Amino acid sequence: MRQIDADFLALPLRRLADAALQRARDLGAEHASFRLERVRAENLRLFDARLEGAMDADDLGFAVRVVKDGTWGFASGIELTPEAAARAAEEAVRVAAVSAPINREPVELAPEPVHADVTWVSSYEVDPFEVPLPEKAALLGDWSAGMLGGVDHVSASLMQVKEQKFYADTAGTVTTQQRVRIHPVLTAMKADGRRFDDMRTLAPPAGRGYEYLTGVGWDFPAEIAELPELLAEKLKAPSVEAGAYDLVIHPSNLWLTIHESIGHATELDRALGYEAAYAGMSFATFDKLGNLHYGSPVMNVVGDRTVEHGLATVGWDDEGVAGQSFDIVSEGTLVGYQLDRRMALLKGLGRSNGCAFADSPGHVPIQRMANVSLRPAEGGPSTEELISRVERGVYIVGDKSWSIDMQRYNFQFTGQRFYKIENGRLAGQLRDVAYQATTTDFWRSMEAAGGPETYVLGGAFNCGKGQPGQIAPVSHGAPSALFRGVRILNTVQEGGK
């Protein structure tokens, strides 16, 4: 088990927290929290096995959030002194005062047990920031060079993040956490004179360390070896005939559909309208809790902030609430939302399920997504068995383009690879494929979820939400699954060609 870095613990965490929280108390705040964090990120980009750019950056600072006379106030600072922390508390109170004329809904927070001086570190072996950049560039360069014989170009990237957070509030909770995540991507490109296309690795981003690139959790050499031939086949593939098809969707594609059509749709701030002007609302409004027929009876969805290697996994959230696991959809019915402390109390839902997150010290915590995952069926079918049940259909692998409306009804997705299914067997790749559906129609058409052996944890580093815009890392687990009668578009025809 890794430990929290000594240089982070050496920062004046408690001195600054004490100064800020005391100043907030002195100014009459009903509640105050202090958060100091350092987010370090290193990105490498290679093109045709040459390093094109590398950036090693961090973001260090602190934030004070108060509730004063029922109104939020927030201020952040970068000078790590008790005096600056106290000034930030004063500024947060001032922000609350300026904002009071436009606040018509007093802020109260759901109770949470005090977590006094607790620590948590994510599950990883090798800190990627301890691996020299030339070593990482050389590995990506070798992988890229290996593909260049069979394709025209190869791009490669490696994103690595280490997030360290210290949190304290006036209730007495004090938490210190550190987590690491990593995402390698290789994309092969090829043209045949008439058209060009690309194909990238399916390896998902993971809450792991550098060991992810050296054989733990994914077999990169094996996946990379297959890409040139798969891309060549895709370029020669016939264009899909638009129409209704049965789909078998691999978790490398389905995670993104889950993210957009379930993950965001079951955020309570959306359902309540807090995101109405920007990210949008949700068809899954609060009055539908417990009675919305979201999907078929084989649909079971869980929100989780505890799963090992999950990108949204934490010990405690940014309101001091412990990470939890909770049901969102049970046997096809909506049974839960993702919450923060204000909304949990506002809607009488008891304790928050720990979904508050801020992506930097300069941003306020908002309700962000847990690892929202579709449960596999115990003893359920393999991917091959799912395919065998389809007479005329498409098997979809890997994510690519995505779009969904502002109430999470209408979506359209593409993928990395599409295979024609004929009489229960794969019959070569197709191209120009997109699938389009309404969320509840789609999930109600799910006939079968695959078994645990088909389950993969996918995800993304950069889920966007809120104003000012914030990004959040999040994982989504899914089995392979079978859907009946989904609309397939031909994207070339959609473009009017």
Residue type, 112: E
Residues 226-265 that bind another protein (CB under 8 A): none
394: helix, coil or strand? Answer: strand
- The CA distance from 335 to 446, in Å, is 18
181 or 408: whose CB is closer to another protein? Answer: 408
Does position 132 bind another protein by CB under 8 A? yes
SS3 content of the chain, % helix, strand, coil (to 5): 25, 40, 35
- The CA distance from 270 to 107, in Å, is 18
Contact 206, 148 (CB under 8 A): no
Q: Which of 153, 293, 351, 389 binds another protein (CB under 8 A)?
A: 153
Cβ 431 to another protein shortest distance, Å: 10
Residues 70-99 that bind another protein (CB under 8 A): 71-82, 91, 94-96, 98-99
Alpha-carbon dihedral of residues 251, 254, 260, 262, nearest 10 degrees? -80
Query: Which residues make beta-bridge pairs with 339?
Result: none
Q: What string of DSSP letters covers 43-84? A: EEEEETTEEEEEEEEEEEEEEEEEEETTEEEEEEE---SHHH
493: helix, coil or strand? Answer: helix
Does position 50 bind another protein by CB under 8 A? yes
The piece of 110-118, 269-277, 387-395, 451-459 that touches another protein (CB under 8 A) is: 269-277
331 or 494: whose CB is closer to another protein? Answer: 494
Cβ 268 to another protein shortest distance, Å: 13
Cβ 327 to another protein shortest distance, Å: 26
The piece of 296-304, 371-379, 397-405, 472-480 that touches another protein (CB under 8 A) is: 397-405
53 or 428: whose CB is closer to another protein? Answer: 53
Q: At what angle do helices 133-148 and 220-236 cross, to 10 degrees?
A: 40
54 or 216: whose CB is closer to another protein? Answer: 54
**Could you write out the three-class secondary structure of 422-489?**
ECCEEEEEEECEEEEEEHHHHHHCEEEECCHHHCEEEEEEEEEECCCCEEEEEEEEECCEEEEEEEEE
- The CA distance from 363 to 307, in Å, is 25
Cβ 108 to another protein shortest distance, Å: 14
**Cα–Cα–Cα angle for 355, 357, 362, nearest 5°?**
165
Kindly give the residue spans of alpha helices, DSSP state H, lying in 209-266.
220-236, 251-258
Cβ 245 to another protein shortest distance, Å: 16
Q: Which of 1, 6, 102, 222 binds another protein (CB under 8 A)?
A: 102
Does position 134 bind another protein by CB under 8 A? yes
Cβ 211 to another protein shortest distance, Å: 23
435 or 455: whose CB is closer to another protein? Answer: 435
Residues 359-388 that bind another protein (CB under 8 A): 362-364, 366
Cβ 223 to another protein shortest distance, Å: 22
Does position 108 bind another protein by CB under 8 A? no
Residues 279-318 that bind another protein (CB under 8 A): 280-281, 283
Q: Which of 26, 56, 308, 331 binds another protein (CB under 8 A)?
A: 56
Query: Which residues make beta-bridge pairs with 411?
Result: 404, 437
Compute and round to an integer the Cα radius of gyration of the chain.
24
Q: Which of 45, 208, 341, 368 binds another protein (CB under 8 A)?
A: 45
The piece of 55-63, 173-181, 389-397, 475-483 that touches another protein (CB under 8 A) is: 55-63
Phi, psi at 88, each rounded to 5°: -65, -40
62 or 395: whose CB is closer to another protein? Answer: 62
Residue with the two structure tokens 């098997």: 395
Q: Which of 116, 191, 244, 427 binds another protein (CB under 8 A)?
A: 191
Does position 101 bind another protein by CB under 8 A? yes
Cβ 329 to another protein shortest distance, Å: 19
The piece of 158-166, 208-216, 417-425, 428-436 that touches another protein (CB under 8 A) is: 428-436
Nearest to 409 by CA among 240, 275, 302, 262: 262
**Cα–Cα–Cα angle for 208, 415, 371, nearest 5°?**
35
Does position 209 bind another protein by CB under 8 A? no
Residue type, 414: T
Phi, psi at 168, each rounded to 5°: -145, 145
Cβ 100 to another protein shortest distance, Å: 8
Q: Which of 123, 214, 388, 491 binds another protein (CB under 8 A)?
A: 491
Cβ 91 to another protein shortest distance, Å: 6
- The CA distance from 41 to 304, in Å, is 25
Cβ 213 to another protein shortest distance, Å: 19
Does position 346 bind another protein by CB under 8 A? no
Contact 304, 371 (CB under 8 A): yes
The piece of 26-34, 101-109, 177-185, 299-307 that touches another protein (CB under 8 A) is: 101-109
Q: Which of 216, 276, 349, 377 binds another protein (CB under 8 A)?
A: 276
**CA–centroid distance for 327 within its chain:** 18
- In this structure, the chain runs to a length of 497
